[in-house]
Amino acid sequence: MAAAQRTVIENCSIATVDADDTEYASGYLVLAGNRIEALGAGTAPEGLENVVRRIDATGHLATPGLVNTHHHFYQWITRGLATDHNLFDWLVALYPVWARIDEPMAYAAAQGSLAMMARGGVTTAMDHHYVYPRGAGDLSGAIIRAARETGVRFTLARGSMDRGEKDGGLPPDFAVETLEDALAATEATVREHHDASPDAMTQVAVAPCSPFSVSTELMREAAESARRLGVRLHTHGSETVEEEKFCHELFGMGPTDYFESTGWLGEDVWMAHCVHMNDSDIAAFARTKTGVAHCPSSNARLAAGIARVPDMLAAGVPVGLGVDGTASNESGELHTELRNALLINRLGAHKEAALTARQALRLGTHGGARVLGRAAETGSLEAGKLADLVLWRMDTLAHSSIADPVTALVFGAAAPVTASFVNGRQIVEDGRLLTVDEDAIAHTTRDQARRLARIAAQR
């Protein structure tokens, strides 16, 4: 077997985000194939063989690649709509539009969402796709193809809805699946696309949309199916006060108790948002190690509230960051969520003690990897882990006068990405994607957004 080719990165600050938060003011990384072979202070060891590239990263900060734990790619082509609505009103306004999506639209929207994240330092992405109109084509396959072409590590959370308007749900009846069809299609997607290996570039989770668009039968049977198939579970939880009221009226209990009654708490589960959590809810998540995808910009955009992230972390709840759908976070970027998570949480009860810059960075890296069940392989810079990392340029006007590079990254303006590596392969150089044509994607997403608007207006 041929020896792995090596890339050596030197002269950069390094924030490893390992268990000890090890940092180097000036250090090196050696990448061998798709793994981090070595890292440390100073310069790389002499005598390394098969070095195909050396990068002088003077003026840069190296961190683990960012991990996005919640998103809805299809919403890329409905950005800028219903900008002054709360969650339920926003959903009522947009579900009829989303219900017209088809395979070309889903593919273009996934390309736009992935490109925007990847050029901003995301190396592991996920998409919670739950809108499967009849006759729309292979939407899951199109999304996975876009992720493969972009070059990011990817989890498709195959969503579903079976509670339409006639059953008291929010989505139009023609936009939901039957219980049987949803379960069968989800299992087929897992069997076709899920890779359980440590180096996996594509994984699949089972992900009914939310309590107000999914029957109790689907929630319960989806959880059983996911555990039989050996994959993770994902859904929305405790996002708004309206959802809390809905659960009490329909189920006679709050969201967390409802989730526990349907088998939806556990180490293999993560929930999006979790804004309205009381002490008992947080304790239940901590006891069961249920994860949380914190989406600060989306929560603010839809006026959902401030999640109790400091209390979750103190209790031991796994927490990562999420972009959320780009119709509720039009920027589509995760690196801005580091700053927003820190600032918005300081508006809560803990004030200036809510989060530090390093806690925010951990949420966006190791925390996210833990939530997705991949912390053993990625989310921190350690020898033996996958070579998923980012070089942020910190010597420009925007950051050069901030002495601490982690503070500069989190508190400062969005930092330029000089290089982003996924699985040892460079996918970004000087802020531009190397794997796909950004300009072509911009044109295609514009055209598909206009096409969707025309189709929705005709119905």
Q: Is residue 44 part of a domain?
A: yes
Q: What is the DSSP letter of 401?
A: T
CA proximity to 112, closest of 393, 452, 439, 340:
439
What is the per-residue pLDDT across 274-284, written as a single tens digit (0 to 9) for each? Answer: 999 999 999 99
How deeply is 71 buried, as exposed, middle or buried, from its count of CB atoms within 10 A (0-12, 13-18, 19+)? buried
What is the per-residue pLDDT across 361-403, written as a single tens digit (0 to 9) for each? Answer: 999 999 999 999 999 999 999 999 999 999 999 999 999 999 9
What is the per-residue pLDDT across 4-19, written as a single tens digit (0 to 9) for each? Answer: 899 999 999 999 999 9
Q: CATH no. for residue 102?
A: 3.20.20.140
How many whole angstroms separate alpha carbon 124 and alpha carbon 64?
Answer: 10
Q: Is residue 97 part of a domain?
A: yes
Q: Is residue 447 part of a domain?
A: no
Q: Which residues lie closer than 8 Å to 384 by C-beta, 6 or more apart?
A: 35, 36
How many whole angstroms separate alpha carbon 409 and alpha carbon 414?
Answer: 7
Is residue 271 predicted with pLDDT exceeding 70?
A: yes
Range of the domain at 322: 66-371
- For residue 21, the number of C-alpha atoms closer than 13 Å in the C-beta half-sphere is 10
Q: Is residue 443 part of a domain?
A: no
Q: Is residue 446 part of a domain?
A: no
Is residue 174 predicted with pLDDT exceeding 80?
A: no
CA proximity to 214, closest of 245, 277, 259:
259
* Choice among 145-149, 166-170, 234-238, 388-392 with the minimum mean pLDDT: 166-170
Shared domain for 406 and 302, answered yes or no, is no
What is the per-residue pLDDT across 189-240, written as a single tens digit (0 to 9) for each? Answer: 999 999 999 999 999 999 999 988 899 999 999 999 999 999 999 999 999 8
Alpha helices in 30-102 (DSSP H): 87-98
Shared domain for 279 and 398, answered yes or no, is no
Residue 452 backbone zone (phi > 0: left; psi -120 to 50: alpha; other: beta): alpha
The tokens describing 374, both together, are 């991949």
How many whole angstroms separate alpha carbon 256 and alpha carbon 450?
Answer: 39
Q: Which residues lie closer than 8 Å to 336 by C-beta, 6 or more apart?
A: 120, 297, 414
pLDDT of residue 2: 66
How far is CA 154 from each of CA 34, 52, 69, 205, 325, rounded to the nearest angstrom?
16, 27, 10, 11, 16
pLDDT of residue 292: 98
CA geometry: angle 375, 379, 380, nearest 5 deg: 110
Q: What does the pLDDT average to over 15-41?
A: 98
CA proximity to 302, closest of 72, 147, 458:
72
Q: What does the pLDDT average to over 428-457?
A: 97
Q: Is residue 441 part of a domain?
A: no
How many whole angstroms separate alpha carbon 201 and alpha carbon 193?
Answer: 10
Shared domain for 236 and 340, answered yes or no, is yes
Is residue 172 predicted with pLDDT exceeding 80?
A: no
Q: Is residue 59 part of a domain?
A: yes
Q: What does the pLDDT average to over 158-177?
A: 85
- Which strand (E) or helix (H) includes residue 301? helix 296-301
Is residue 439 predicted with pLDDT exceeding 90?
A: yes
Is residue 1 predicted with pLDDT exceeding 60?
A: no
Q: What does the pLDDT average to over 335-342?
A: 97
Q: CATH no. for residue 43?
A: 2.30.40.10
Shared domain for 213 and 313, answered yes or no, is yes
Q: What does the pLDDT average to over 342-352?
A: 97
Q: Is residue 154 part of a domain?
A: yes
* pLDDT averaged over every residue in the chain: 95
Shared domain for 84 and 206, answered yes or no, is yes
pLDDT band at 134 (very low <50, low <70, confident <90, very high): confident
What is the per-residue pLDDT across 72-131, written as a single tens digit (0 to 9) for each? Answer: 999 999 999 988 998 888 888 888 888 899 999 999 999 999 999 999 999 999 999 999
Shared domain for 322 and 406, answered yes or no, is no
pLDDT of residue 91: 82
Shared domain for 48 and 74, answered yes or no, is no
- Structural domains of the chain, count: 2
Q: What does the pLDDT average to over 398-417?
A: 97
pLDDT of residue 15: 99
